[in-house]
């Protein structure tokens, strides 16, 4: 019935009623905290384009992970910055590489923390691409073997979840087969299934030192104009054995998150990426936005679109805000 019989504002008359009828909620359990780990000791280097986010050596990383655990954050995802790079990204699948050691350190010190590892060779190659390169072309099938080896070494180190982000065709199937054959059938795969060729990744590439030295990634990452393609990519990854799937970036792709959620019955993640983080931080530092409110509104929008898990550089800050609001 129309006004005045129905008055929508009755459902907004006080905070208790607002909480009772709230359709979407955000919990610390929804948060995944990304970390950049590097060689050395006592290293905590702030990333210039991501104020408040750092590269950590293993000793300093453990302190940060413990802070996250104390805040109730259930999972971290690791990105490695090696000391040396080559054409085939050999440090990516070195059993004693930086990420492999980071996994072992975390699982030994904080065994309850879920450790996710990014599986992609771009941070480890001297050309900066996510696949092997021959005559300027990114090779798909030849890269799969390296990704499978990388995932195996992560699982051997104790990773709970491996997360292929390379966007090579067939990589989920290759990784699942390699993990199962080597006895890691319990290791989960979180596939970056709908990963777009986005300008929002700029600050990350500074953080991970992973900018391509030639060309771009448009031949393997998705065209931002495409939506139906995302559904095909997601369904293919699930068919190949992905336990969970991801949409990346989040904010400019809320429609994709929503569409994917309607199509699938596996857990869905979204990555609140570096450019999204940096835009909010810059605006808040200039006093243009209310930092706390815009962080929480942004994360809630990603949940509302349908993502259960949110990878976000705001994870610790959001966890603190949630705890304060809940009176903890």
User: Would residue 9 count as lying in a domain?
Assistant: no
Instruction: Give the N- to C-terminal CA distance of the chain in Å, as an integer.
Output: 42
195 among known catalytic residues:
yes
User: Would residue 274 count as lying in a domain?
Assistant: yes
Q: What percent of the chain has pLDDT over 70?
A: 98
Catalytic choice (85, 149, 248, 316): 248
Judged against a pLDDT cut of 90, whether residue 328 lies above it is answered with: no
Count of domains in the chain? 1
Catalytic choice (41, 195, 308, 316): 195
pLDDT of residue 93: 93
Report the run of H or E that residue 206 belongs to, with start and end: helix 202-208
CATH number at residue 276: 3.20.20.70
316 among known catalytic residues:
no
User: Would residue 302 count as lying in a domain?
Assistant: yes
Q: Is 130 helix (H, G, I), strand (E, B) or coil?
A: coil
User: Would residue 6 count as lying in a domain?
Assistant: no
The tens digit of pLDDT for each residue in 44-98 reads 999 999 999 999 999 999 999 999 999 999 999 999 999 999 988 999 999 999 9
Q: Which domain holds residue 32?
A: 25-325
User: Would residue 141 count as lying in a domain?
Assistant: yes
User: Would residue 278 count as lying in a domain?
Assistant: yes
**Furthest-apart CA atoms within the chain: distance in Å:** 71
Query: In angstroms, rounded to a whole number, what is the distance separating the alpha carbons of residues 124 and 99?
Result: 11
- pTM of structure: 0.95
Average pLDDT, the chain: 94
The tens digit of pLDDT for each residue in 166-179 reads 999 999 999 999 99
User: Would residue 8 count as lying in a domain?
Assistant: no
pLDDT of residue 212: 72
C-beta pairs of 277-286 under 8 Å, 24+ apart in sequence: 277/50, 277/53, 277/203, 277/312, 277/313, 277/314, 278/49, 278/50, 278/51, 278/202, 278/203, 280/314, 281/50, 281/51, 281/52, 285/51
pLDDT of residue 215: 65
User: Would residue 229 count as lying in a domain?
Assistant: yes
CB atoms within 10 A of CB 314: 25
């Amino acid at each position: 019935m129309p006004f005045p019989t129905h008055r929508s504002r009755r459902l907004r008359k006080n905070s208790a009623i607002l909480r009772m009828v709230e359709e979407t909620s955000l919990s610390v359990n929804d948060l995944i905290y990304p970390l950049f780990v590097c060689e050395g000791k006592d290293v905590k280097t702030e990333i210039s384009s991501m104020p408040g986010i750092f590269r950590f050596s293993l000793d300093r990383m453990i302190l940060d992970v413990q802070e996250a655990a104390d805040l109730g954050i259930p999972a971290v995802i690791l990105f490695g910055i090696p000391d040396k790079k080559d054409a085939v990204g050999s440090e990516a699948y070195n059993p004693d590489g930086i990420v492999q050691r980071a996994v072992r350190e975390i699982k030994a010190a904080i065994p309850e923390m879920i450790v996710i590892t990014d599986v992609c060779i771009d941070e480890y190659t001297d050309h900066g691409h996510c696949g092997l390169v021959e005559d300027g072309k990114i090779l798909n099938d030849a890269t799969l073997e390296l990704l499978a080896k990388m995932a195996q070494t992560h699982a051997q180190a104790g990773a709970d979840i491996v997360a292929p982000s390379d966007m090579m065709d067939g990589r989920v199937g290759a990784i699942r087969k390699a993990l199962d054959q080597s006895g890691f059938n319990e290791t989960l795969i979180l596939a970056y299934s709908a990963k777009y060729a986005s300008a929002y990744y700029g600050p990350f590439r500074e953080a991970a030192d992973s900018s391509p030295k030639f060309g771009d990634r448009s031949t393997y990452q998705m065209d931002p104009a495409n939506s139906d393609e995302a559904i095909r990519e997601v369904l293919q990854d699930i068919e190949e054995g992905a336990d969970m799937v991801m949409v990346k970036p989040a904010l400019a792709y809320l429609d994709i998150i929503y569409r994917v959620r309607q199509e699938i019955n596996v857990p869905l993640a979204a990555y609140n990426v570096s450019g999204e983080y940096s835009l909010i931080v810059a605006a808040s530092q200039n006093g243009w936005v209310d930092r706390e409110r815009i962080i929480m509104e942004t994360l809630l929008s990603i949940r509302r679109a349908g993502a259960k898990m949110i990878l976000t550089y705001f994870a610790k800050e959001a966890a603190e805000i949630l705890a304060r609001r809940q009176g903890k």
